[in-house]
Structure 1
């Protein structure tokens, strides 16, 4: 794999990040992401092409609209840069493989949902369902290209299982989880099931642990209480993306603990989602 491929995918991520900013700003309000074109929310002046370059334009404009000088939120360059970096990291992780498009679509959708949850405590259906559908379509194409149809069965089982577990938690104690998190769990099962169920477990446990640590830290600092709402979707998204990028060593290590053959050779005898 050439470094040029990684750079190209990273640049694609910057462009996708710019689109995600539009989606985050418009979808929760029920507006179209296509029309009208991008404009300053302060003065409604259309944004020229020269002022719409991801990250660079924000820096050159000194973080303000060219026309009215209203500050441009830092979320715009941060989401663009993060999308570009994660796309490049996944290009390194998977190379030009059949599963890369699914990973990129899944990651982009999670970033948009996390941004909405962080700002509005909302996981819009108009983002969840398109991400779910596009991810599933890309995985179907990956299965057709590689002949690994068994992975689709694991994916479906993970999606249904994650949805069912989160639905049960929501039903028992609605204060613990909003129903948006239940739908998000189904999306996580779809995006991670291709790699194996332990990736899904790692994402949920890891994301929950990060959320717990942050919550305890904010409580210790006096910046939140037990009744303060937490955008749990943000931490689930963090856990899922981390599982995709760095979960393989953890999953392989865990599988080796329960596999006598792996304990002797260092290689798991069977690995769900990684058959020889």
Structure 2
């Protein structure tokens, strides 16, 4: 794409992503509390004054207010603009990799679901069914749509539908098995049911091959972080940590670099003779 096109397009995509990130902040705060994500409009959680439209501009609104409420001067968490900026960057990366395509739109949605679930898991140690189940359904629909687009026939749609279903089943069974054997080994619950549901959602979007890669990466990163946490902060062994963010990291790596990683793995361990 010509640079005169890609630069303004990138700016628009980043702005779109930051706006979605603003809504993700709302979802992360309200959904676990059982509140509507649509009403009332954004307001200060301390004084409950409704925010002005110009205060709600992603990233820049927080900077303009210097991180404080216009009315009561209470501090506004820096996480809000960070999530907005991060979502903008994710949207931009997806756009640069998949260009103008149905894949871009689909993976924007997938990454948004992953980010929202990760933040909620970090805050509450839960993965809401509303998000994991809706994300799974969207993943199945996405598979059908991308199967229809290249050929315009039912053959591709059925093939991709089966890929999504198999991926979801593998994700659910795999993490249910991990939770079962982990609980037996530790003598207590090793993994929440939400992690298996998130894995099923990931399988619906990625297919079983990339799901297995994402799960391997998630377990590896989670193990390293757990060891570092115990070593540096003297966290007690066996203390629970949210696994959803690690699954999301694994899914993101599989999405952006899965093909290259699997190709390198096959060349390394199964060279053509």
Q: Say whether the fold is shared (TM-score over 0.5).
A: yes
- Equivalent residue for 2:204, pick from 179, 190, 199: 190
Q: Who is 1:274 aligned against?
A: none
CA distance in 1: counterparts of 2:225 and 2:179, whole angstroms: 22
Are positions 1:156 and 2:173 aligned together? no
Are positions 1:32 and 2:36 aligned together? yes
Q: Who is 1:106 aligned against?
A: 110
CA distance in 1: counterparts of 2:180 and 2:83, whole angstroms: 33
TM-score by length of 2: 0.89
- Equivalent residue for 2:26, pick from 22, 47, 70: 22
In the TM superposition, residue 162 of structure 1 has moved relative to its aligned partner by 1.1
In the TM superposition, residue 138 of structure 1 has moved relative to its aligned partner by 2.8
Contact 1:114 1:234 in 2 (8 A): yes
Contact 2:143 2:164 in 1 (8 A): no
Which deviates more from structure 2 when the two are superposed, residues 249-258 or residues 215-224?
A: 249-258
SS in 2 for 1:29: coil
Q: What residue ranges of structure 2 are gaps of 5+ in the alignment?
A: none
CA distance in 2: counterparts of 1:256 and 1:157, whole angstroms: 26
TM-score by length of 1: 0.88
Q: Who is 1:272 aligned against?
A: none
In the TM superposition, residue 255 of structure 1 has moved relative to its aligned partner by 3.4
Are positions 1:66 and 2:79 aligned together? no
Are positions 1:214 and 2:251 aligned together? no
Q: Deviations over 1:225-249 (max 9, x none)?
A: 2132111001000110111112221
- Equivalent residue for 2:243, pick from 232, 237, 245: 232
CA distance in 2: counterparts of 1:250 and 1:170, whole angstroms: 27
Q: Runs in 1 of length 4+ with deviation above 6 angstroms?
A: none
Q: What residue ranges of structure 1 are gaps of 5+ in the alignment?
A: 265-276
Q: Who is 2:258 aligned against?
A: 247
Contact 2:28 2:119 in 1 (8 A): yes
- Alpha-carbon RMSD across the aligned residues, in angstroms, is 1.7
Distance verdict in 2 for CA 1:18–1:223, change over 3 Å:
farther
In the TM superposition, residue 78 of structure 1 has moved relative to its aligned partner by 1.2
Are positions 1:125 and 2:129 aligned together? yes
Higher helix residue share? 2
